[in-house]
A and B are shown apart, each in its own frame.
Chain A
């Protein structure tokens, strides 16, 4: 048989591929995104920054002209009161967008996650890469937003850069569990509409962005407390206005970290379950 002759006469040179460290492989996933993003970032920035800019102008300047600075605005102009909170809310909304359809597409429509699964990069590392990418996107969107807010005169001092970190954490406290959920979606993403309508939208309206949660009827207040947005808003405002106290800060931070942490673990697991079948 010629088979065995062929087998013994020549051996393929060693393959050039190799697996890497966790850090290196997450970096490679980010690089894959970057290749796309460096040419397409303008469109994404416009959509994720335009909305909060409009909020600031409409609510902060428009509505704000009717609002007397007082106890509930912590003595600030309404525009200034709003700025750190709109930062958080806009990152949470961007996070929601980035962690739903794009993730489902990776599994189902574009199927590029399936391509990654055939490389040395494990599904869990792919999930970590996706989450890190979302965090970087949030950081970048947040920076552009702050630039606009500064131009509108809505920022008091550079402490708002620390608020930005809190806002990114809040975004991830929402994104990580949602990415984990998206990795389990089999259909066309009908659940995402419900998520936007019944989770994101109410959160935007009732989690303390435009007025303190204490203004709500007492029975509804606890609902706001379970949202990451409320914790993030408290943190971001507290940091920007220098009014944050240690104990609440710790509680808010722990809650957000726990959500982000549990979400990350679940996302890694669900990516594995979905890709390794």
Chain B
């Protein structure tokens, strides 16, 4: 690979739409075989970044190499080796499940025999074999999503880019999909995922960046980020709506840091149980008190002062 072993190499990557800057100088390096995540709230610039990396959208500024090539000049050759799952499904709904896979495979220059075989494997992968010859139109949202993901694998991509892969899937389907993605990862496929679900990021990503307002706010593995930006545990104290603020002063004395949400206080501490006992002693009478481990949600709250999913 041209750029020191990284499959994706971006420096100061910028995307402008008119005068609006959606991506404002992103630096990332993604190594072969890595699972990399972009975590961030709506409008953070995740999709815009993904589309530039997918060679769908030209960059407005900065440096970008994908598979060692420049998307501006080598788009088709790069895309031949990528799998792209867009945020919004764009299947051919008038074709059947099988036809969608076969036609798409042909766009990638696979032989007819190859696409027939691959379509069979992918329907197995997406658990759609029993719907093979059904039209796509009436399939459920989750089935369509799975088909979109399967379709992106038709060319055995070296890099799979998934923009919010599990939005709209039920919990079981999400777990199945995570399992499938994990298997791809084991085969050495590089995964790039955007999500605003912290559990998904924790499940899927070796390393991730937290994006906000078009910029990278922090970078690291999920556990590193939690260690760096949060405490080991969090005590959540629920209060009647609108009464939360009354208790912040007391709470602030009990923890390293306190976040105020509309219906609860989050107390960041390494020992949640001790903090809960202390809270009772200090005369706090929350509706409920819950001790949990820190998550990326807390990291995000710390970094941006806002919730990830609201």
Contacts and interface: CB of A to CB of B under 8 A. Distances in A.
Interface of A: 1-4, 6-20, 24-25, 28-29, 31-32, 35-36, 40, 110-112, 114-122, 275-277
A119 B79 contact: yes
A18 B90 contact: no
Interface stretch (B153-161, B165-173, B252-260, B275-283): B153-161
A120 B76 contact: yes
Contacts of B58: 276
A112 B92 contact: yes
Contacts of B189: 12
B298 interface: no
B88 interface: yes
Given A9-B33, A10-B188, A121-B76, A16 B206 contact: no
A264 B111 CA distance: 29
Contact of A14 (B152, B158, B190): B158
The B interface, classified by DSSP as helix, strand, loop or mixed, is: loop
Contacts, number: 140
Interface of B: 17, 31-34, 54, 56-58, 75-77, 79-82, 84, 86, 88, 90-95, 99, 102-104, 106-110, 114, 151-152, 154-158, 185-190, 206-207, 221
A110 B190 contact: no
Nearest to A1: B221
Given A111-B88, A115-B92, A122 B75 contact: yes
Contacts of A6: 33-34, 185, 206
B164 to A, nearest CB: 15
A277 B22 CA distance: 12
Given A10-B187, A276-B57, A31 B106 contact: yes
B158 A18 contact: no
Given A15-B156, A35-B103, A276-B57, 6 more contacts: A12-B187, A13-B156, A14-B81, A35-B102, A111-B88, A112-B91
Contacts of B90: 110-112, 114-115
B32 A12 contact: yes
Contacts of B156: 12-17
A1 B227 CA distance: 14
Determine which residue in A17, A29, A110 has the highest number of CB atoms from chain B within 10 A of its CB, and name it.
A17
